[in-house]
Structure 1
Amino acid sequence: MNLDKLMEVQGGLDSHVVLEKGLEEQDLFNQKVLALQVEIAELANETRCFKFWSSKEPSEPEIQLEEYVDGIHFFLSLAIDLKMEPSSLMVWDDFTEANLTETLLSVLSEISSLYVLKDVNLPASIFLEDLQEILREAFQVYVGIASKFLGFSWEEVEEAYYKKNNINHQRQLNGY
């Protein structure tokens, strides 16, 4: 996994969006947190992991992968906002969640705490370190979802990320 390159590419897209939309003076952190939550929920919807009432099959793997990498975009964008080094973003540990539903809920819970903590009046250094740790933990679990539950290799995730990043750039150029 080349997080250095992924964060560089994401930073380029983020800068492009901010300039194109005239958002230089806006703090977009909370919007990115909500966007990440929505993307995780869209992934859950495509996997149908929580839909105990339905017999319908999950979406095709390609659709799940696209939703998954949409989440990667916002994780990386938040990491850039929190001034995280790519090497500090990844900590490899096994996670214990037994199924995809629990795992997604765990990630959503961590992401929600980013919003909650941001509103607490803490000294800047403590605040930033806490936010970084929360994002690191959530990202670590999210990365594990790809192989443990969805059956994707990191190479497939990276390839899909770059493909979607190009689509996102094209969308911006076309007034999305």
Structure 2
Amino acid sequence: MNLTRIFGMQEVLDTRIIKAHGLEGKNLFYNMILALQVEIGELANETRCFKHWSNKGPNEKEVILMEYVDGFHFIASLGNGIGFNPNEYSLKLLEHNANVYTASTLVNQFNNVYEGISEFRATQDIELYEELLYSFLGLGKKLGITFEEIEQGYYKKNEVNHQ
């Protein structure tokens, strides 16, 4: 997964959106945090992992992937906003840390991502952002989504977002 390319593309998209909506100079950090939380909730809803009362299974993998990628857009935006440098992270390091930040169950992984969002929101610290990124990548791993699928899904969704 080419984080440098993804984060660069996200910066271009965010700049276009900000300009189109007259948001130059506005602090959108808390909007992005809430948007990420909403996207994580939508993703959880598609997996149905918490719906112990229901017999209906998860949605198709492509739907889950697109919801995951929606969240990844906000992960990238937040990273860009605090000066995260994706050039410093090798694929091997990302894979290792995604494994480290993977919980025993999908429900626990979703909760870990929410906790990571809350901790990052409170401090805007780059180290807590990195932990959030790893936890989010761990969520993808737990969902059976590969880095290649994330990357290709991101490119596809980014193209749609520019329309």
What is the TM-score normalised by the length of structure 2? 0.91
Whole-angstrom distance in 2 between the partners of 1:139 and 1:109? 12
Q: Specify whether residues 109 and 65 from structure 1 end up closer, same or farther in structure 2 by C-alpha distance, changes over 3 A only.
A: same
Counterpart of 2:145 in structure 1 is 152
SS of the equivalent of 2:162 reads helix
- CA shift for structure 1 position 88: 4.4
Counterpart of 2:162 in structure 1 is 169
Structure 2 counterparts to residues 91-170 of structure 1, below 5 A: 91=94, 92-93=96-97, 94-117=100-123, 131-147=125-141, 149-170=142-163
- CA shift for structure 1 position 95: 2.6
Counterpart of 2:59 in structure 1 is 59
Whole-angstrom distance in 1 between the partners of 2:49 and 2:114? 15
Contact 2:109/2:138, CA 8 A, preserved across alignment: no
- CA shift for structure 1 position 116: 2.6
1:78-136 Cα distance to aligned partner (Å, 9 max, x none):
00000110034665322351111101101111101233335xxxxxxxxxxxx211111
Structure 1: 4+ residue segments shifted above 6 A: none
Contact 2:39/2:70, CA 8 A, preserved across alignment: yes
Contact 1:114/1:134, CA 8 A, preserved across alignment: yes
- What amino acid is the match of 2:103? E
SS of the equivalent of 1:101 reads helix
Contact 1:82/1:132, CA 8 A, preserved across alignment: yes
Contact 2:120/2:132, CA 8 A, preserved across alignment: no
Whole-angstrom distance in 1 between the partners of 2:9 and 2:102? 31
Counterpart of 1:24 in structure 2 is 24
Aligned residues: 157
Structure 1, unpaired ranges of 5+: 119-130, 171-176
Percent same amino acid at aligned positions? Answer: 42
Larger Rg: 1
Structure 2, unpaired ranges of 5+: none
Whole-angstrom distance in 2 between the partners of 1:83 and 1:153? 26
Whole-angstrom distance in 2 between the partners of 1:108 and 1:35? 12
Counterpart of 1:123 in structure 2 is none
Whole-angstrom distance in 2 between the partners of 1:44 and 1:137? 20
What is the TM-score normalised by the length of structure 1? 0.84
